[in-house]
Structures are given as C-alpha cells and as structure tokens.
Chains A and B, each alone.
Chain A
Amino acid sequence: MSVDVKTVKRVARLARIAVSEEDAERMTGELNAILGFVEQLNEVDVSGVEPMTSVTPMEMKKRQDVVTDGNKAADIVANAPATEENFFLVPKVVE
C-alpha cells in the first residue's frame, strides 16, 4: 500500500499537524519509503497467532479505590502557557 499527497494531508489533519504543500509532498515520499519497508510483514504466516497485548504475562495491577492525592490545581496549571485562576485558557470553542 502507498499513500498520495491527499492521504498525507488527511492524516496530518487527523494528527493535528499543520502541513504546507511542500511538507505534504516531502512526507509522501518518506511515508511511502517506510510503508514499503514494513510491507514485508505480509509474508509472515500469522494464522492462529494472537496479537500481543502484554509483553510480560502478568495480571493487571489494581489499587484500592481511594483518594491518594489532590489539591494540586496550582501544580497542574503551573506549566500551562495561559491560565486564569487555575483554569486552562483556550481559544473560544463554542459560539
């Protein structure tokens, strides 16, 4: 399988990365090189093989359903580019 410029632009939109026409064209070539390389996986017989879900056979750890910390609003917004009274500020989303 290979991708065209239109697909690259669609994928960039899904990934929320702005791309120029020039970027999209360069990326098309690069992505096709990588997709060409991974193509060889199709020759592997995987009948009856489960997809890997966990590399180490282990039971999912669960913790007690109790509060372990909190009251850290100031810490949480400390690194944000724009905040007001411990809220994240974003451009208007709903008209």
Chain B
Amino acid sequence: MSDLTQLTISQARAKLRAKEITATEITEAYLSAIERANPALNAYVAVTDDKARDMAKASDAKLTKGEGGSLEGIPLGIKDLFGTEGIHTQACSHVLDGFKPRYESTVTGNLWADGAVMLGKLNMDEFAMGSSNETSYYGPVVNPWRRSRLDTVVMPTTHQGDGGFVSAGGTRTARTLDNAQLVPGGSSGGSASAVSAFLCAGATATDTGGSIRQPAAFTGTVGIKPTYGRCSRWGIVAFASSLDQAGPIARDVRDAAILLRSMASVDPKDTTSVDRPVPDYEAAIGKPIKGMKVGIPKEYRIDGMPEEIETLWQKGIAWLRDAGAEIVDISLPHTKYALPAYYIVAPAEASSNLARYDGVRYGLRVPGKDIVDMYEKTRAAGFGREVKRRIMIGTYVLSAGYYDAYYLQAQKVRNLIKRDFENVFAAGVDVILTPATPSAAFGIADEDMAADPVKMYLNDIFTVTVNMAGLPGIAVPAGLDAKGLPLGLQLIGRPFDEETLFQTAHVIEQAAGSFQPEKWW
C-alpha cells in the first residue's frame, strides 16, 4: 500500500494488528496529507501534530506487544465542538477565543481509551448552527467534490484513458472539473470534508437537525446520528440539549459501526444518557435483510424536489427489494411541521445554553462602561450573524406573552411528530428509507441562501424529523448526480436499533458502490 491514508479503519486495523504498518507511519501519512490539503480545504482549525505523534508512539508500544484497544493507532479528526483537554475547543466561535478546557468530553475520552490518535480539531459552523459550514469564525470549509461535465472524446486506439473509460468505439467519456467551490454541508462540514479528502481515517461529528447526515450526503461519506441518549453529551459544547447527539462520519458503513461502538457509552455524568449496553454494531453488517419491512413515507416527496433525488430514492427501494425486503408505503402526516417546530425549539434551547458566554468565565471580553455594557459588547462582538439570529428568535419565543403560542405549541407538535413514527413502527415497519437531502452540495456564498435564512434551513427538511423524535438515522452514499456530485439516502430506525441501520445501509452500500472525489487540491 503506497498511500496509507487510503485505508479504511477496518483495513488499517488489520494491518496495524498484523504489524504490517505502524501507528506512527499512518499518523505521519495523515499529517502530511493535512499539511498539503488544508490551505485549500480549510477542514482543520487546529492540527495537534505533537500530540498525534505521542499518541501514535504509545499505540505502537502496545501494538508491538500484541495489545491495544479496538481503535489502537487509528488517526481521527475531532469536531471543534468536543471538549479536548488542554487543546483548542472553540465551537468555531470568536466568543470562545483561546478556550482550552481542563477536561475531556466523554465521547473523545472513550476514543482515546480505545487507542485512537487525535490529528486535530475540525472546522464547523459556529456553535453547530448552519447547513453549509459558512458561519464558522475560521471561514468556510471547501467540499473536496466539484461539479464536472461529461465530454465524449475520440481516442487514438492505443491510448488508455487517464481516469476515463475506454469504450469499444474508440471514444471515451471524460469528466472535466468545474472550478466553483462547493460547501461540504454543515454543521459538521470540517468532519465530512476531512473524511472525504482522506485527511483522517474517520471523524467525530454532532447532529442537532441534520449536522452529521447532510454533510455526509454532500461529500459521499457515511454519517450516523444515533438515538438520543446513546452518546454522552458531557463535555460537548451545548447547542440545543434535547436534540444534540454525537456520532461518527466515516468512509464506509463498517467504519461508522466501529467508531460508534467506541463513542457510545452509558455515562453517569449525562442524566439523559440511557442505561443500555452498547452492542457490537459491526456484527450486524452482512446479515441478510430478507423479510425486513421497509417503510417509504409519502410526505418526503416534496414539491420542487429534483428529479434526480426521486430517481435515487427509487433505486434505493429497488436495491432493498432485490435483497428480499418488503417495501410498504407509509404516512408520517406531521412531517411538514418538523422544520418549523425545530426553529422554535432549537433556538429556544440555544438562547438559554449560550447565555453562559458573558465575558466573565471564558473566552472573549470586550470592556464596557458597566457590567451590562460589557456583556452586550462581548456578545455583539463574539457571536456571528446566524448565532445572534437564533439567540434572538429563542429569546423572543420564550419571552413573556409568547411562550404558549410558540414554545408550548412547538413542543406539542413535536409529540405528534414522534407519535407518527411510533405508529409506523408499531405497525411492523423495521426501518424507513428517505432521501438524505433535497439537493446535492451547492456553491459557497450561494446568493439565494444568503438572502433568505429559511432557504438554508430547508436543507434539513428530511433529517430534522429524526432529531425531533429522538430516533437514529444514517446517511449512506447512493449515487452521483448528472454533475458528478454525491447524493445520499437516509435510513431511520426504531429507538436504539442502530444495528438495523448498519445492516440495511450496508446493503445499499454494496449495491451503490463507493465514491471518491477526484483530487484537485
């Protein structure tokens, strides 16, 4: 193997255990890949090279003795939202300038205990608020995928196409890459971009309304948001506490299963962490899905959805049917209300969680003439536009006189959304198949999105229902659109039935194949 960064986690794990490669070698390979690519992609906001080398050395000492954990020597990227002891943790916000926590988040602690190596902290939308990774204080992340045009080229008979396909008639099709920079999705845009561009073997991410699954779909990677309560939220910067969940972004379904097993745990430090043993998710991969009941919700067929998304969905249905699953039409009648209800519940929780950034305990302080003036100036300078917008909405809907009309109404609708899913699962449906996003990746600084915040919010239309109901959801790459950009399908499962998601996603992955961006960076 010439390039160690090309190995999946499961392949690297086998080679590390067989002593064919060392943790130091693979770590160095990633560090040099980051050094070369990061100026173009901006996926990392902090590279912890010294720490990575120390951790790799410690892993090598264990591996030499035939010891080590389930992720021994595997180099990972960590979203900037996770508290990492003594290391840059700023949720990509100006207000957290210089913050280095004196503690480690439970999720990252679990990964290090299993032997993983930290490469650095990954870019994200500020406080995880965004769907394009353009709200980061550190600037936008660039998607390693670019649009391309298919051209037919007449070939001299002796020449083999470089990357194209030689056809019987002496012509080939070649893709010409467009120069326009695209967003990787958000909020875990750095995680998705880094995994897709081979700048880490896998990454941690978080998902409040789609922040794992939408960027995974935009970059041809696999992302799973587990059931609420599966991964501890302790030590992760809070956005909307009743919706936030950590999960992995990985190159394939098996890698996502390996990472989630390590990240998930029962944690007494998080009162919403659920007391259930963590299963071996990898064991579910490869199990037949014959007889499984797959629900197709009619409400996910929305107006204005591109034809390509519908075609992709139909392909997914056909693959699962061919594998022996029973396809059933279902109805989730309150689907359309999930996004508006989310835009009350999430900002309300955020306005409360972000009250702690007051210029006193950590981060930025802008002096003022008195303490209130100091608070107001600090928060005005420290928060970006999108964060302020959400704090304002949250403050408004929780303010006297509006609480019942907005917040209570939204929490009632949230119960109806959850009930829709419960009814479907009670009727025997094992898993639900939907598109992951209503479109492929769009351009950085897209004018329509910038002009209308609601347009940007619509990116999460298929993913947000899952957070509102606390269910697990996985995005798995399923094809390319006409412009050569990846598109994903989403599977939604019963609470704590991540195993069925891995099992079914693997069937889609087997049928669809895997997708890599053409390297331009």
Interface set of A (CB-CB < 8 Å, partner B): 1, 3, 7-8, 11-19, 27, 30-31, 33-35, 37-42, 44, 46, 49-56, 58, 60-61, 63, 72, 75-76, 78-82, 88, 90-93
In the complex, the chain B residue whose C-beta lies closest to that of A36 is: B454
Beta-carbon contact of B391 and A38 below 8 Å: no
The answer to whether A40 and B452 have CB atoms under 8 Å apart is no
Q: Given the complex of chains A and B, what is the CA–CA distance between A18 and B370 in angstroms? A: 13
Closest B residue, CB atoms, query A38:
B340
- Which residues 445-471 in B have Cβ within 8 Å of A in the complex? 452-454, 457, 468-470
Known: A17-B380, A41-B337. A52 touches B454 (CB 8 A): no
Chain B contact residues (Cβ within 8 angstroms of A): what range?
35 or more
Least Cβ distance of A41 to chain B in Å?
Answer: 5
B340–A40 touching, CB < 8 Å: yes
Chain B: residues with CB nearer than 8 A to chain A? 98-102, 227-229, 242, 268, 271-274, 334, 336-337, 340-341, 343-344, 351, 355, 358-365, 367-377, 379-380, 383, 388-389, 391-393, 395-396, 399, 402, 405-406, 408-416, 418, 452-454, 457, 468-470, 495
Given A11-B399, A34-B454; A16-B392 close (CB under 8 Å): no
Q: How far is the CA of A54 from the CA of B468 in the complex (A)?
A: 11
Q: Which of B392, B410, B452 contacts A31 (CB 8 A)?
A: B392
Complex Cα gap A47–B274 (Å): 31
Give the Cβ gap from A68 to chain B, nearest Cβ, in Å: 9
Q: Is the CB of A18 within 8 A of B360?
A: no
- A3's nearest neighbour on chain B, judged by CB, is B396
A56 touches B227 (CB 8 A): yes
Identity of the chain B residue whose Cβ is nearest the Cβ of A60 in the assembled complex = B271
CA distance in complex: A3, B389 (Å): 13
* Bound CA–CA A58/B334 (angstroms): 24
Residues B376 and A17 in contact, CB atoms below 8 Å apart? yes
Contact among A46, A58, A93 for B371, CB-based, below 8 A: A93
B361 touches A15 (CB 8 A): no
CB pair B408 A55 closer than 8 Å: no
A18 to B360, CA, bound (A): 17
Distance A13 CA – B411 CA, assembled complex (angstroms): 26
CA A8 to CA B370, docked complex, whole Å: 22
Question: Is B391 a contact of A15 with CB atoms below 8 Å?
Answer: yes
